[in-house]
Amino acid sequence: MVDGTVSSDVAIGREMYGWARELFPVRRSLTGEGVRDTLRYLARIVPGLTMHEVPSGTSAFDWTVPDEWVLRDAFIADGEGNRIVDVNRNILHVVGYSKSVDAVMTRAELEPHLHCIPDMPDAIPYITKYYELGWGFCLAQRQRDALGEGPFHVVIDSVHSKGSLSYADIVLPGRETREIMLASYVCHPGMANNELSGPVVLAALGRWLSARQDRRFTYRLLFGPETIGAIVYLSKHLEQLRSSVDAGFVLTCVGDQRAWSLLQSPRADTLADRVAKHVLVARGVDFKTYDFLERGSDERQYCSPHVDLPVCSVMRSKYGTYPEYHTSLDDLSLVTAAGLAESFSVYREMIEVLEANETYIATQPCEPQLGRRGLYPGTGTRSSSFSVSTLADLLAFADGSRDLIALAERIGRSAIDCAKTAADLVAAGLLDSVPSSTGTGHSQRKEPI
Amino acid sequence: MVDGTVSSDVAIGREMYGWARELFPVRRSLTGEGVRDTLRYLARIVPGLTMHEVPSGTSAFDWTVPDEWVLRDAFIADGEGNRIVDVNRNILHVVGYSKSVDAVMTRAELEPHLHCIPDMPDAIPYITKYYELGWGFCLAQRQRDALGEGPFHVVIDSVHSKGSLSYADIVLPGRETREIMLASYVCHPGMANNELSGPVVLAALGRWLSARQDRRFTYRLLFGPETIGAIVYLSKHLEQLRSSVDAGFVLTCVGDQRAWSLLQSPRADTLADRVAKHVLVARGVDFKTYDFLERGSDERQYCSPHVDLPVCSVMRSKYGTYPEYHTSLDDLSLVTAAGLAESFSVYREMIEVLEANETYIATQPCEPQLGRRGLYPGTGTRSSSFSVSTLADLLAFADGSRDLIALAERIGRSAIDCAKTAADLVAAGLLDSVPSSTGTGHSQRKEPI
Amino acid sequence: MVDGTVSSDVAIGREMYGWARELFPVRRSLTGEGVRDTLRYLARIVPGLTMHEVPSGTSAFDWTVPDEWVLRDAFIADGEGNRIVDVNRNILHVVGYSKSVDAVMTRAELEPHLHCIPDMPDAIPYITKYYELGWGFCLAQRQRDALGEGPFHVVIDSVHSKGSLSYADIVLPGRETREIMLASYVCHPGMANNELSGPVVLAALGRWLSARQDRRFTYRLLFGPETIGAIVYLSKHLEQLRSSVDAGFVLTCVGDQRAWSLLQSPRADTLADRVAKHVLVARGVDFKTYDFLERGSDERQYCSPHVDLPVCSVMRSKYGTYPEYHTSLDDLSLVTAAGLAESFSVYREMIEVLEANETYIATQPCEPQLGRRGLYPGTGTRSSSFSVSTLADLLAFADGSRDLIALAERIGRSAIDCAKTAADLVAAGLLDSVPSSTGTGHSQRKEPI
C-alpha cells in the first residue's frame, strides 16, 4: 500500500470495489440505457450529480451525436439451435454498434465477421464500429477453433434510433471560482480496469469533496462517454473551462496494483502535471512518465489546440500497456479494493496539495527569532547552527516567487508536509500568502480563437 | 549514399565532378583573371549570375581591396638552367601574392623562402601572403631534400597593379521577400575539396532553384574570394541582408565522402542551424557538430558582431581536420561524384524543409472525425485507440506555437515527411498555416549599429 | 599553493597568520569588550575602519540587541579548592552568556550543566545560550571522566548589563556607486578557522583595496557579531544595500588548506555566484558546491526574503563539515599562513575580475584586419586560417550581450586573461565597453516591500 494510504482508505477501497461489482454487468455503450443506468447509480454516491441529454444529430465541432444503439439479442447458433456464441454470456461477443443481421450462413460466409486474438486463446476482444455500418462477433480463439463448418444461424437484433447522448456533471463551488476538473468515462462494457475503475474512484472523490467543509477551488466532475462525450461537453462549455480550469485530470485505469503511470499534458509542465509528478515522487512511488504522444483517452480532446486545458492523467497500468487491455480478461480479478484505495489516496493528496498551493512570502526581512517564539532550540550547539529545519528553509525561500509545490521542491521536502508547516508559520505571523493570480494552470496560455 | 539521394542525383554528381575537373587548372587567387574565368564558367551553369567588379583601393569596413596580382612565371632553376621547381607544374609552388624576384642565390640564401611539410614529404603546402610584401616557394619535402647547394636562378615574375576584386551574385525572387543566402568562394587555386566542391555544389543548387516553379523564399547566391569578398559584399549589402536573411549557409568542403560536419552559428540555434541539424539527424547521418569557436570560412564575417546573420555550414570533411587540407594532395582524387551528389541532396532537402517550414495550427477545437473523412480507420480495435499516426500527432500538436521543424521534432518524425502530411491536412481543411512573422532567423536579433 | 598565488602573497599569508595569533586569546562574544578590542585591532590594519555602537534593547526587525555579558571568572573546583575546570585555561569552558552561579554541588547536581563530545575525548565543545537564561560548563570527555564525585565548588561570575552591540564598517568609494560588499564576523572566541580566518583575510583585502589607485566599484567592508550583527546592520542600511550591492561575500572558514567550498546564494546565479564559480573553475581548484539549503552564516540574513542581496561565500573547509568545527581543536594548528594566503589570492582575483567585468562590443562589422595592426600573423599558412586566438575569439563573440565573465566562459578561457586581452583591444580601438546597466547583481530582483 502506498505510503499515505490510511486505514479508513481500506474501507473506501472495499466500497469502491463493491460499486464496480454492481456496475460490471450493466450493458454500457456510447449512448443508451446502459450509460443512463450507470450515471443514475453514480448519482446516488455523489449527491447533486446531474444527468444531461443531448439529442442524436446534435453537432459538436467536427462531430455529430450518433443515434442510440439498442441491442436486444445476438448469437451464433449451430445446426441444432445451440447458442455457441451468445451475447448474454458476455456483452463483448458483439461488435459495438453492429447493425441487425438474421441469416443462415456457412463458416466461410461467417469468417469475415469474426474477431479473435490468436495469441490470447481465452480472451474475447473488445471491438466497436461506432461510425461505420457493419456487424461482427468477437470470440475467444479457442471458441473459434471449435466452431465447426456450419451452417450457422447468425442473429444480431439491434436498433439504431434517434435518442440522446447522456452525461452527468456536478460543480462544487469553492471560495475561488478557479476550477479543478475531474473526468472519467462510462461507455466501456464488460471490462474493469478500463473502464470501471475511473468512474468508481471519481465517485468516491466526488463524495469526499462534497462533504468537505471548506473548498478553496471550485470542483467540476464529469462522467460521460469517451471522445464524443468530451467533445460534446467542450462544445457547450469551452469558454468557461478555458477561463476557469487551473488543473484537470482524466481518471482511467486506476484499479489494478501492477504499475503507476503519468500521462503528461502536451506542455508537460502545467499545474496538473506538476502536482501529479510532485505527489508521485514525494510518496516514493515508482511510476512511468508518458509523453502526450502516448495519449489515448479524453486528454486527446481536453488538450487539443484551441482547447488547451491543463489536463493530465495519473493511472495504474496504462491502457494499451497491459496484456488484458481491451479484452474480456480485463475483469474484476484484475482490479482490487487496495488498488482502487491507493488511487483514491493519491488523487486525494493531489487535491490537498492543490488546495494548499498558495504562493508564500515571509512577512519581514531577515530570519525571525524562532527561539523567542518557541519554534527553535535556543541553544547554539555544535550542530544547530548549520542544520536547518523545514521551518527555517520554508522561511528562507518564501520570497513570493514560488507556489507551495515549487517551494517544497526547492527545499527538498513534500508539499503535503510543507503545507502543515506553512500553516503554522502563517498562524505565527511569520508567513503570508500572496494573492493568487488567476489562471495559474498555464504559463503561456494562448488566446481562444 | 545517404538515404534520400535519388538516382537522378547520380547524374548531377557526375556533372558537378566534370565542372570541378574543368575548373581545377584555373589559376585562382584573391583577385584577377583566374577568379573572373571561374565566375564566367559558373555563370553558364546558373543563368542570370552576374559579375561585379570593385576597384582596388576601395574601403570595406576595416579593409581595403588589394591590388590585383598577376603571376607571369615562377621557377627555381639549377646551374644548367633546369627548372627544378616550376609554377607551371603546380600553381601551389609559388606563395600567393609574392613580389617579383630575379636573382642567383646560394642554397643558404634561398632557404628562408622555402616552405615544406616535413612529415608529408610528397605534399606541396598552400601558402599566401596577401597583406605582406614578400616572396616564397612551396615544395614537397622530397624536392627540397634533393635541391643541392646551388647556385640557383630564382625567378618570380609578378605584377601588383590596380585592378578590381570580382564576385558574382544572383537573387532569385520568391513569394516572400525573406531570403535564404547561399555562399561559396572562388579564390583557392589547385585544390579540390577546399575549394572547388563548394562552388560546384552551389552552382548545381542555383540551377535547380532557378528552374523551380514556385519559390516561397527569395534566394541569394554569392561567389567571391574568401574573407575580403565576404567583407566587401557585406559592406555593400549589410542592411538589406540583416533585414531579410532568414537563414544562410557557407558551402565549403562538400566534396569528399569521409565525414559530415556541422559548423554552427555563434548562437547555434538560428533557423539555419535548426534546419541543418534536423535534416542531418533525420537522415540518420553520422555527423560531428562544431562550435563557432572552430569557425574558419566566411561565417567569420557573416556571423560577426553587427552583422549577425543566421549562417552555418554543413560540410563533409571540415577544413583543418583532414590530412590533405591546404596541400597539393587535396586534389580531384579526394573529391568524388557521389560525395558531391550527397552534399547536393542534403542542401536540397534543407531548402525543401525551409520552403515548407510554416507554423501550423489546427482549424478547430478537439480531434476532427478522421473516420468520416476517410483519414482514419473507423473500427475501434484493440490497438487503434492508442496508436496514433503522424497525422493525428500533427493535429494534436499544431497549436500555432511551432514551425514545421519544431513540430516534427516534437512528434519525433522528419520534417520532410511531416511537410507532406501537413499539406494533406491543409487540403482537407483541418490545418492552417499561421501568417509568418518576419525575421524568423533569430529569436533575439540585435539592432544594427 | 593555488596557481595565481604569487610570492608576495606568502608574506601576506605570514602577516595574516600573525594577526590571527594575536587575536586568538581575545575573549570575544556577541557583545562586549572582546569584540571592541578585536575591532580596534582590525582598524589598525584597515585605515578608516569605523566602529559603531548600538545600545542594548534596540529593535532590529524581529530581534532586540541583547545586554552585554561580562564574564569575570568561571571554574569548577574540587574539595581542596583546586580549579579542575577553569575558564582562564580555555574560554570555551563556560557556556556563552551563562548567568552567575556560586554553589557547592554534588556530581549529580552538576551533571545537567556539563557538555562534552563523547567521541572526541580531547575536545572542548563551543556552546552558547544567547537567548535563554541558564549556565553551563564545556569540557573534554577525558576531564569529565576524571571529575570524581564531588562535592564541587561551582562558580560563574558574570554580569548581564545594558551596553551596546559593536560593529565596524568602511565604505571605499569607487568610480561607480555600485557596491561590492565583503563581510565577516568577530563573535567567536577561542577558535581559528571558524572564526579568525575570515576577519584577518578580510582585513588584508581591506588594506589592499584602500591602497588601490583606481576602484571601479565602491567597496563596503563589515565586521560585527554573527546573526544579530548582520540583522542590526541590515535594519539600518537595507534600502541602501538593496539598491547598490552588485555582489557580496561572507568571509568565513578561509584558513585551512584541506578543501575549497562554495556556498551559493538562493538563486545560485547572481554575479557573486558567477564570479566565485568562474574563478575557482578557471584556477583549476577542486571545490565543492553547496546549495543555499546548507547555509549557516550571515548569508542567512543577507539572502533572506525582502533583503535578497546577491551574496555567496567562498570557503576552505566549510563550517559543520570538518571534525574540529566548533571545538577547542579548531585552533591555530589548523589554520596556516599558506591557507590564508590562498584564500586572499582567490578573493583578490574575484575582485579583479569584477573590476574588469564590463560588457564588451566590437566597434565595427566583420573581422578587423589584424595583420595590418600587427595583431595577427599575415601569412595564410596551413594552420593559421583555422586556429583562432583568444583575441579573435573575443572579437567574434563580443556582441554586447555578455559581460566579461560570460564572454570568457563562452570562449573557454579565464576571465582574468580575457581582461588583459580586452584591454589591448580597447586600446587598439577594436572593442568598446557598453555602458553598464545598474544593478547587475540580480536578473530578477524583486521590489522591496
- CA-nearest residue of chain A to B413? A293
A12 bridge partner residues? none
Interface test with B, best of C359, C361, C366, C388 (most B CBs within 10 A): C366
Which residues of chain A from 77 to 116 reach within 8 Å of chain B, CB to CB?
96
What does the pLDDT average to over C157-184? 97
Which residues of chain B from 325 to 364 reach within 8 Å of chain A, CB to CB?
361-362, 364
List of residues 6+ apart from A238 with CB closer than 8 A: A307, A448, B365
Q: Tell me, what's the pLDDT at C230?
A: 98
Q: Tell me, what's the pLDDT at A387?
A: 32
A184 and A252 Cβ atoms separated by less than 8 Å = yes
Q: Does residue C291 carry a pLDDT above 90?
A: yes
Q: How many CB atoms lie within 10 A of CB A146?
A: 10
Q: Does residue B372 carry a pLDDT above 90?
A: no
Higher pLDDT, B435 or B321: B321
Binary contact (C128, A400; C-beta < 8 A)? no
Residues of A in contact with C327 (CB under 8 A): 382
Q: How many CB atoms lie within 10 A of CB B392?
A: 19
Which one of C365, C385, C401 has the shortest CB-CB distance to B306?
Answer: C365
Give the strand pairing for B359-362 and B399-403: antiparallel
Distance, in Å, from the CA atom of C195 to the CA atom of C29, rounded to the nearest integer, reads 12
Question: What residue has cell string 484493440?
Answer: B382
Which residues of chain B from 203 to 232 reach within 8 Å of chain C, CB to CB?
227, 230-231
- CA-nearest residue of chain A to B400? A305
Q: Tell me, what's the pLDDT at B375?
A: 67
Nearest by Cα to A315 from A269, A257, A275, A262: A262
Strand ranges (E), B162-217: 164-172, 179-185
Question: What residue has cell string 508521485?
Answer: A280
Lowest mean per-residue pLDDT among A436-445, B90-99, B198-207, C397-406: A436-445
How many separate helices (H) and strands (E) can be counted in chain C?
Answer: 12, 19
Q: Which three cell numbers stand for residue B202?
A: 552551389
Interface test with B, best of C363, C382, C391 (most B CBs within 10 A): C382
ipTM of the complex: 0.91
List of residues 6+ apart from A154 with CB closer than 8 A: A76, A77, A101, A102, A103, A104, A105, A110, A113, A137
Q: Does residue C384 carry a pLDDT above 50?
A: no
Q: Give chain B's mean pLDDT.
A: 93
What does the pLDDT average to over A68-91? 96
Higher pLDDT, A83 or A438: A83
Reported confidence tier of residue B2, pLDDT bands at 50, 70, 90: very low
B271-282 vs B337-355: helix crossing angle, rounded to 10: 120
Encode pLDDT of A420-442 as tens digits: 999 999 999 999 999 865 444 55
Binary contact (B366, A234; C-beta < 8 A)? yes
Write down which chains contact chain B via at least 3 CB pairs under 8 A: A, C
Binary contact (C395, B326; C-beta < 8 A)? no
Encode pLDDT of A291-320 as tens digits: 999 999 999 999 999 999 999 999 999 999
Min CA distance, C306 vs chain A (Å)? 5
Q: Does residue C273 carry a pLDDT above 60?
A: yes
A7-23 vs A337-355: helix crossing angle, rounded to 10: 120
Binary contact (C132, A399; C-beta < 8 A)? no
Q: How many CB atoms lie within 10 A of CB B447?
A: 7
Reported confidence tier of residue B374, pLDDT bands at 50, 70, 90: low
Q: Tell me, what's the pLDDT at C380?
A: 46
Which one of C62, C126, C303 has the shortest CB-CB distance to A368?
Answer: C62
Min CA distance, B399 vs chain C (Å)? 30
Encode pLDDT of B410-447 as tens digits: 999 999 999 999 999 999 999 999 986 544 455 444 44
Q: Give chain C's mean pLDDT.
A: 93
Write down which chains contact chain C via at least 3 CB pairs under 8 A: A, B
* Percentage above 90 pLDDT, chain A: 88
Residues of C in contact with B308 (CB under 8 A): 399
Binary contact (C378, B132; C-beta < 8 A)? yes
- CA-nearest residue of chain B to A226? B385
Which one of B62, B130, B446 has the shortest CB-CB distance to C366?
Answer: B62
Q: Tell me, what's the pLDDT at A375?
A: 67
Which one of B366, B388, B393 has the shortest CB-CB distance to A231?
Answer: B366
Binary contact (C397, B266; C-beta < 8 A)? yes
Q: Does residue A106 carry a pLDDT above 50?
A: yes
What does the pLDDT average to over C360-368? 97
C308: left (phi over 0), alpha (psi -120 to 50) or beta: left
Min CA distance, A399 vs chain C (Å)? 5
Encode pLDDT of A388-408 as tens digits: 478 999 999 999 999 999 999
- CA-nearest residue of chain A to C124? A382
- The three-state secondary structure class of C185 is strand
Q: Does residue C372 carry a pLDDT above 90?
A: no
Distance, in Å, from the CA atom of A209 to the CA atom of A218, rounded to the nearest integer, reads 10
Encode pLDDT of B25-50 as tens digits: 999 999 999 999 999 999 999 999 99
C56 and C162 Cβ atoms separated by less than 8 Å = yes
Interface test with C, best of B124, B127, B265, B293 (most C CBs within 10 A): B293
A155: left (phi over 0), alpha (psi -120 to 50) or beta: beta
Distance, in Å, from the CA atom of A292 to the CA atom of A298, rounded to the nearest integer, reads 12
What does the pLDDT average to over A150-166? 96
Which one of B96, B293, B325 has the shortest CB-CB distance to C393?
Answer: B293
What does the pLDDT average to over B68-72? 96
Which one of B378, B398, B411 has the shortest CB-CB distance to A305?
Answer: B398
Reported confidence tier of residue B381, pLDDT bands at 50, 70, 90: very low
Distance, in Å, from the CA atom of C237 to the CA atom of C225, rounded to the nearest integer, reads 16
Encode pLDDT of C42-97 as tens digits: 999 999 999 999 999 999 999 999 999 999 999 999 999 999 999 999 999 999 99
Calculate the dihedral angle through the C-alpha atoms of C318, C319, C325, C328, rounding to the nearest 10 degrees.
Answer: 110
Q: Tell me, what's the pLDDT at A372?
A: 73
Q: Does residue C2 carry a pLDDT above 60?
A: no
- The three-state secondary structure class of B18 is helix
What does the pLDDT average to over C409-420? 95
Q: Tell me, what's the pLDDT at C4?
A: 52
Residues of A in contact with B397 (CB under 8 A): 266, 292, 305
Task: State the first-to-last Cα distance of chain B, in angstroms, to the nearest integer.
Answer: 46
Q: Tell me, what's the pLDDT at A379?
A: 45
Q: Give chain A's mean pLDDT.
A: 93
Residues of A in contact with C235 (CB under 8 A): 365-366
Q: Tell me, what's the pLDDT at C319?
A: 97
Distance, in Å, from the CA atom of C288 to the CA atom of C157, rounded to the nearest integer, reads 44
Which residues of chain B from 254 to 293 reach within 8 Å of chain C, CB to CB?
266, 292-293
- CA-nearest residue of chain C to B328? C382
Min CA distance, B287 vs chain A (Å)? 28
Binary contact (B380, A301; C-beta < 8 A)? no
Distance, in Å, from the CA atom of C92 to the CA atom of C99, rounded to the nearest integer, reads 15
A271-282 vs A337-355: helix crossing angle, rounded to 10: 120
Distance, in Å, from the CA atom of A216 to the CA atom of A356, rounded to the nearest integer, reads 8
B4: left (phi over 0), alpha (psi -120 to 50) or beta: left
Reported confidence tier of residue B449, pLDDT bands at 50, 70, 90: very low
Binary contact (A381, C62; C-beta < 8 A)? no
Which one of C128, C234, C327 has the shortest CB-CB distance to A366?
Answer: C234
Distance, in Å, from the CA atom of B186 to the CA atom of B167, rounded to the nearest integer, reads 9
Residue C49 is given by DSSP the state -
Q: Which three cell numbers stand for residue C203?
A: 582585513
Min CA distance, C219 vs chain A (Å)? 22
C194 and C188 Cβ atoms separated by less than 8 Å = yes
Q: Which three cell numbers stand for residue C380?
A: 595564410
Interface test with A, best of C293, C302, C319, C322 (most A CBs within 10 A): C293
Residues of C in contact with A385 (CB under 8 A): 296, 319-320, 326
- The three-state secondary structure class of B41 is helix
CA C171 to chain centre: 17
Min CA distance, B371 vs chain A (Å)? 7
Binary contact (C379, B308; C-beta < 8 A)? no
Q: Tell me, what's the pLDDT at C130?
A: 83
Class of residue A427 by CB neighbours under 10 A (exposed 0-12, middle 13-18, buried 19+)? exposed
* B63–chain C Cβ distance below 8 A for any pair: yes
Binary contact (C378, B308; C-beta < 8 A)? no
Q: Which three cell numbers stand for residue C297?
A: 552564516
